[in-house]
Structure 1
């Protein structure tokens, strides 16, 4: 076997057709990550749920910085309880065949780069299951700049970790013990976090409500749909405040007259300036089609 095997990662993520890291992990663009930081959990959840991705969210965490949003690309790891023969074989393989140093958790941290998030299934182990403490959290901070960790298990040195401002850590519990009696059986493989599944290269969106894992091939679509919903809401608030339209008109499928009003506002009002990379040809064409065929429901997810 190989830890962090490019052939396996590429085989597991065939719907991603963009840039990849040298190990095959999908590399969602920095622009999409930047824009992802401005959307809400529910805005990210909707497009995934509507496409059958029903197990992408987990909310049962403690959070080092509860009010901070965390966004990054997933580097995953799967840990299991220690079985001596398996443990010795895999540890020896990592050291002798792959040149890795230290214990399994250090191998994952050593792979992190800017904007990464370590996503670790520690099988909900807290006592003797503290995946990171002060030192490794500092290493995560140095390597990822804005990333962090999602650990279905424990951490230690909370008083030190909370002082690291530029990352966030989602975890199940704290314990003063060090990590022990665990073995890593996979790195950058499918990883279960509670009731959610995370794949290498997923975009991790951590919020005060919990964490959602966004498949890389759906990341830009998710951001675009969220941004379109946001800017339409801004327009709707303005027109409702000015009594131009009723709430029923704003909440229903827009006709071409309302779309024309919106597009004029969109191109000229400063409140829309951050959204002008968006295009609306599909929505306008749909409105024209609806007028010919009768009204259709307008699902804004």
Structure 2
């Protein structure tokens, strides 16, 4: 009901068809997480946006460490102001599982490698400090290179800054967490204007936060890699005066440009990691195939 079961999490994330973690969350392969660490948020945001996912970004948060990217699998939780009868129900659920401590400790105690806490604290900073020095240390130990996103407060920031774990948060306050109750663990969670599901891939950079639906991770990475390859090629062509900026910026490249691009990718060492990309859709569009043109234009922000 409040602590979602494996079956409930699977139903909530039914678009994911791959392997799952023990709790039921999608297990996006580590290789994709590694690739995301080399990409920018903007490169990933665009293919999500054109697919209709318009509420995956939030830019109104602070972060603990500069120039440290956060990438990991979401463990979501939602809190509300305290209500005694509700808190009793939630505590009973936790006690049946043998969980101890306050509700935020339950969440941290259930983290695994590569996880990121995504906590909606209803923007509560005073008495809403989800993590401090101790829990940030625990997150570091349990998740490795994971972290936390807190739509609320943190405390002990001087201690936290000494810990190599990225945390996004709304504000700082010396008060401990109190007067709130966990109402959902591993359910749909709102962070500002963004929506996150359990197992989404959290991407946090200097540009803000992006919550990538698990079933779209491979697609958006593929799109971003194509953009990388085209950028390398495009800059080279512009420097040599072979193509104009208008030609490079065109949503659909002509056949001569596409064939030159594919040859460039195969021969230029800067594009070595992009040599396995499938360009058949773009080639079809270049040849004027209506279906290919339609699909390519769907990936463009117009």
**Does TM, scored on the shorter chain, surpass 0.5?**
yes
Alignment counterpart, residue 219 of structure 2, candidates 202, 218, 221: 221
Query: SS of the counterpart of 2:112?
Result: coil
Query: SS of the counterpart of 2:39?
Result: coil
Structure 2: distance between partners of 1:265 and 1:294:
23
Which residue pairs with 1:112 in the alignment?
Answer: 111
Query: SS of the counterpart of 2:287?
Result: helix
- Provide closer, same or farther for how the CA distance between residues 300 and 270 of structure 1 changes in structure 2, counting only shifts above 3 A: farther
Which residue pairs with 1:200 in the alignment?
Answer: 198
TM-superposed CA distance for 1:239, in Å, is 1.3
Which residue pairs with 1:177 in the alignment?
Answer: 175
Query: SS of the counterpart of 1:234?
Result: helix
Counterparts of residues 19-30 of structure 1 (less than 5 Å):
19-30=19-30
Which residue pairs with 1:64 in the alignment?
Answer: 64
2:46 corresponds to 1:49: no
2:97 corresponds to 1:98: yes
TM-score (norm 1): 0.94
TM-superposed CA distance for 1:77, in Å, is 0.3
Which residue pairs with 2:141 in the alignment?
Answer: 142
Counterparts of residues 1-301 of structure 1 (less than 5 Å):
1=1, 3-95=3-95, 97-165=96-164, 167-252=165-250, 253-289=252-288, 299-300=299-300
Structure 1's consecutive aligned runs of 4 or more residues displaced over 2 angstroms after TM superposition are 293-301
Structure 2: distance between partners of 1:149 and 1:137:
8
TM-superposed CA distance for 1:70, in Å, is 0.7
Matched residues, number: 299
Is 1:229–1:300's contact at 8 Å kept on the other side of the alignment? no
Q: Deviations over 1:63-113 (max 9, x none)?
A: 101322111110000111111111122113211x11112111111111111
TM-superposed CA distance for 1:2, in Å, is 5.4
Q: Deviations over 1:194-253 (max 9, x none)?
A: 111110000101011211111001111111111111110000111111122222222222
Query: SS of the counterpart of 1:72?
Result: strand
Query: SS of the counterpart of 1:184?
Result: strand
Q: Which runs of 5+ in 2 are unaligned?
A: none
- Provide closer, same or farther for how the CA distance between residues 42 and 298 of structure 1 changes in structure 2, counting only shifts above 3 A: same
- Provide closer, same or farther for how the CA distance between residues 42 and 294 of structure 1 changes in structure 2, counting only shifts above 3 A: closer
Structure 1: distance between partners of 2:235 and 2:132:
46
TM-superposed CA distance for 1:274, in Å, is 2.2
Q: Which runs of 5+ in 1 are unaligned?
A: none
TM-superposed CA distance for 1:183, in Å, is 0.7
Q: Aligned Cα RMSD in Å?
A: 2.0
- Provide closer, same or farther for how the CA distance between residues 259 and 170 of structure 1 changes in structure 2, counting only shifts above 3 A: same
Query: SS of the counterpart of 2:230?
Result: helix
TM-superposed CA distance for 1:137, in Å, is 0.2
Is 2:120–2:151's contact at 8 Å kept on the other side of the alignment? yes
Is 2:133–2:156's contact at 8 Å kept on the other side of the alignment? yes
Is 1:109–1:118's contact at 8 Å kept on the other side of the alignment? yes
Query: SS of the counterpart of 2:259?
Result: helix
TM-superposed CA distance for 1:145, in Å, is 1.1
TM-superposed CA distance for 1:276, in Å, is 2.2
Query: SS of the counterpart of 2:135?
Result: helix
Query: SS of the counterpart of 1:289?
Result: coil
